[in-house]
Amino acid sequence: MSEELIVKDTILSPKTCGTVSVEEALANRRSHRNFREDAISADQLLQILWAAYGITSPGGLRTTPSAGALYPLEIYAVVGNTEGIEPGVYRYIADGHTLVRTVDSDVRRKLCEAALNQKMVAKAPASVFFSTVFSRMTKQYGERGVQYVYVEVGHAAQNVYLQAEALGLGTCAIGAFTDSVVKKILNLPAKEEPLYLMPIGYCK
């Protein structure tokens, strides 16, 4: 399907202060694999997406460091049970802090099968998915740029862990999945390569 811009009046600007310190979030950060069925909110999901790759300065710098400020990652939300957002797959647009729908159905079960049947992918109300356009980095750094991409997605994933913890949610980073199947399920452009999957939800 063609991309559809989703603009929600109820989506708030990302918060830059909270009640949980960085130290507390670091101390409590764990990988969680069992999630309740409770929905998360659109604002919780958008806050996590902002933590992953949001813009933090008028010049376009982001929450995650990037070699040469080239930002090769693309961030998606796989939504199944999120208040205020219909099920589907959404690309996060950092410039504007909003979402663009790229798939209009709940793909969590299919994505679970592609991720070696890791049940948390199907049960979590939403997931954050990272892909990359390697050429954004390699055009400047050559083959070394590939390594920089993997470093960068690690930075972004840790941001997701810490923000989820601060919001009273849990997550688990998943790298085991069949790339070609995931690309088809998520309707990724040919130039994008899958990297990482992080289910999000309230922990049991």
Q: How confident is the model at residue 1 (pLDDT cuts 50, 70, 90)?
A: very low
Average pLDDT over residues 177-185: 98
The mean per-residue pLDDT over the stretch 154-170 comes to 98
Task: Estimate to the nearest angstrom the gap between the alpha carbon of 14 and the chain centroid.
Answer: 15
Which is it for strands 40-41 and 82-83: parallel, antiparallel or unpaired?
parallel
Is 4 inside any structural domain? no
Q: Does residue 132 sit within a domain? A: yes
Single-letter amino acid code for the residue at 194: P
Over range 72-81, report the average pLDDT: 98
State how far the Cα of 203 lies from the Cα of 72, in Å rounded to an integer. Answer: 31
pLDDT above 90 coverage of the chain, percent: 93
Of the pLDDT bands very low, low, confident and very high (cuts 50, 70, 90), residue 158 is: very high
Query: For 106-141, how does the pLDDT look when each residue is reduced to its tens digit (9 = 90+)?
Result: 999 999 999 999 999 999 999 999 999 999 999 999
| Domain, as residue range, for 132 | 20-201
| Mean local confidence (pLDDT), 73-100 | 96
- Rg of the chain over Cα atoms, rounded to whole angstroms, equals 16
Residue 1, domain member (yes or no):
no
- The verdict on residue 167 lying in a domain is yes
Which has more pLDDT, 50 or 2?
Answer: 50
Other C-beta atoms lying within 10 Å of the C-beta of residue 18:
12
Quick one: pLDDT at residue 12?
A: 74
Q: Is the pLDDT at 11 greater than 70, yes or no? A: no
How many domains does the chain contain in total? 1
Query: Which pLDDT score, from 0 to 100, does residue 44 have?
Result: 97
| Confidence category of residue 13, pLDDT binned at 50, 70, 90 | confident
31 confidence band (pLDDT: 50, 70, 90): very high
Task: Give residue 4's pLDDT.
Answer: 56
91 inside domain: yes
Q: How is residue 51 annotated by DSSP? A: H
Beta bridge partners of 203: 35
Q: What is the CATH number of the domain that holds 69?
A: 3.40.109.10
Contact between residue 193 and residue 122 where contact means Cβ atoms under 8 Å apart: no
Q: Is residue 2 part of a domain?
A: no
